[in-house]
Chain A
Amino acid sequence: MWRIAYRNLLSKKTRTLLALVGLVIAVVGVIGLISISDGIRATITQSLGQLQGVQVVQKDSLSPMFSKVDTKIINEIQGFPEVDAVAPRIFGMATSIDGKSVSLISGNGIEVIGIDPAKEGTPGKTGFLSSKITQGRFLKASDTYSAIIGKKVADDQKKSVGSTIEINGVKFRVVGVWTTGSSTTDQSMLIPLDAARKLFSMPADKVNMLTVYIKNPEQVDTVAKKIELRIDDVDAKSGTEYAKDISSVFSSLDLFFWAISLIAVLVGGVGIINTMLMSVMERFRDFGILKAIGWSNSNIMTLVVSESVLIGVVGGIAGLIIGYTLVQIARPILGFPMEVSITLAATVLLLAVSLGLIGGLYPARKASRLNPIEAIRYG
């Protein structure tokens, strides 16, 4: 049956190729969109995984950006014997750089993080941030309007140590450049806490988040639980736990991308139905003959569905290879995180085969229900 199906498809090469092209475009589209989503998720998860210690935010806040915690809890947490240091942070977005408007959506926005250098500056223990400095130096307690910029900011804005960068109308002197390897943190900058407080109009007794550095990293989860238990209205999570939460947010994004992909898939499916319908209509006489020589309705259905499933399998594999190759080519060019996971590959392949199967059902039914005499006579 498969061999006959294969021969039938080969006998009309152009038409088969057109159906394959439609399907390949659909598969490549799905791979493109989902690989971007998977890539972003992996990067953010990785970035958050790099977070040290316990992150303390306002209870049920959507993100640290929208959270406000009281600075008076700093001393309380600092009192825990497991705690090394409690580092307050203020987050904000740059809306203008050197007088030009920017936004995160258009891809040139910068996340600005206000930190207390005294709490985060010692390499080895609390010095996670300082350990990523690749040029210049880390912030000092005496700094007022100094900044450490991410590598991407340095490249995009053509800044280096000694340059001045104006954020939301306030000038900062670049004292260091940091490279984290994560595209999100490389597009951020660190400034002293007080400067951030003024820049983002944060009340004197509030910060967005606290990072609690732990003496023994194995006690991270224990300390997180202890903080939630002892202090009201806060959520305390380790970086990896936090990453898990963010990951679930990305499931919604996936759903959105899959919905867009569905349009591409539908187009591919309509292509298959169209091809198979035309192919069936051209072969009415053949199906009449097959019925006359003893093929049953289900035999004929199986033949037509086999043909469309073959298109699905070949289109799926070809689309996967092309999609994977394009992702490999696009990744360094776009500088965008894209990943083709095994799950994505398997899903896309299954989708293509299902599309072949479903796309072939209606034409197959039409072929199987033909009256053999009329089919032979009028072809």
Chain B
Amino acid sequence: MAKKIIEVKDVHKYFKLGETLVHALRGVSLTINEGDFIFIIGPSGSGKSTLLHLLGALDVPTEGRITFEGKNLAELDEDVLSIIRRKKIGFIFQAFNLMQSLTAIDNVTIPLVPAGVNEQVAKAKAAKLMAMLGLKDRMQHTPNQLSGGQQQRVAIARALINDPIIVLADEPTGEVDSQTGNEIFDYLRMMNKKFKKTFVIVTHDTEYMKKGDKIFKIHDGKIVT
């Protein structure tokens, strides 16, 4: 039986948008196991990004409970949460979100900086990962010298550099064309199969759904399938 990584139980999330109180999640429950390749799909404003932020220990639920490897995230302080994010979780964002002042390889190694990993060791690890993602000749380029697909692959390498047990991706193909989008999913799938990494991918694009093992459809803050 696969190891349980995250368990979400009857989670509600409220937040204020100006004067309005938004009920973003309304009793969400789901389980994520090791090696899963999961899609969370739904229209804009359905609550999928909010759920992803909760899964990534960036926020805590208003009601309900999320456990990460058995630990209740709501009971942990910010320092412990940052260590969990650093060691256990990889993040991929829609807009790549690379640091423009750094080269591709420096962007990849940046999660290792707080861990105090030796620069040479970090670079060697990053170079290996980047070569695997077809970025061997792009290591010294800055983000603005790379195409959208290349930038997202740099972001994938950054998400994997700390050898996390789970990678959370928020609309990873949102800013690339469909061919590049397919390539990105193929890379994610390769990492999932090759390294047994767990992936949770949020998308509103149904085109890629067939690539997933599990699909959670979310609508108005509730999982509907």
A residues contacting B by CB (< 8 A) are 1, 3-4, 7-8, 10-11, 285-286, 289-297, 299, 372-373, 376
Contact = CB atoms under 8 A, between A and B. Distances in A.
A292 B113 contact: no
Nearest to B170: A376
Interface stretch (B66-74, B93-101, B194-202): B93-101
Contact of A4 (B53, B87, B113): B113
Contact of B100 (A11, A290, A292): A11
Given A10-B101, A373-B59, A293 B106 contact: no
Interface in B49-66: 53, 56, 58-59
A370 B167 CA distance: 23
Contacts of A286: 97, 99
Nearest to B100: A11
Contacts of B99: 8, 286, 289
Given A294-B114, A376-B93, 11 more contacts: A1-B113, A7-B102, A8-B99, A10-B101, A11-B100, A289-B93, A290-B110, A292-B91, A293-B86, A293-B91, A295-B113
A329 B33 CA distance: 74
Interface residues of B, number: 29
Nearest to A1: B113
Given A4-B110, A376-B97, A294 B82 contact: yes
- Which 3 interchain pairs have the tightest Cβ spacing? A294-B86, A11-B101, A296-B82
Nearest to B142: A11
Given A11-B101, A285-B97, A292 B110 contact: no
Interface of B: 53, 56, 58-59, 78-79, 82-83, 85-87, 89-91, 93, 97, 99-102, 106, 110-111, 113-114, 119, 158-159, 162
22 contacts: A3-B119, A4-B102, A4-B106, A4-B113, A7-B102, A7-B106, A289-B93, A290-B110, A293-B91, A293-B111, A293-B159, A294-B85, A294-B87, A294-B111, A295-B111, A295-B114, A296-B79, A297-B79, A297-B82, A299-B82, A373-B58, A376-B97
Contacts of A299: 82, 113-114
Nearest to A291: B82
Contacts of B100: 11
B60 to A, nearest CB: 11
A368 B106 CA distance: 21
A291 B97 CA distance: 12
B16 to A, nearest CB: 12
A293 B58 contact: no
A10 B106 CA distance: 15
A285 to B, nearest CB: 7
A15 to B, nearest CB: 12
Contacts of B93: 289, 292, 376
A379 to B, nearest CB: 9
A264 to B, nearest CB: 31
Contacts of B90: 293
Contacts of A1: 113
Nearest to B78: A297
A295 to B, nearest CB: 5
A376 B78 CA distance: 18
Given A7-B101, A373-B53, A373-B58, A293 B78 contact: no
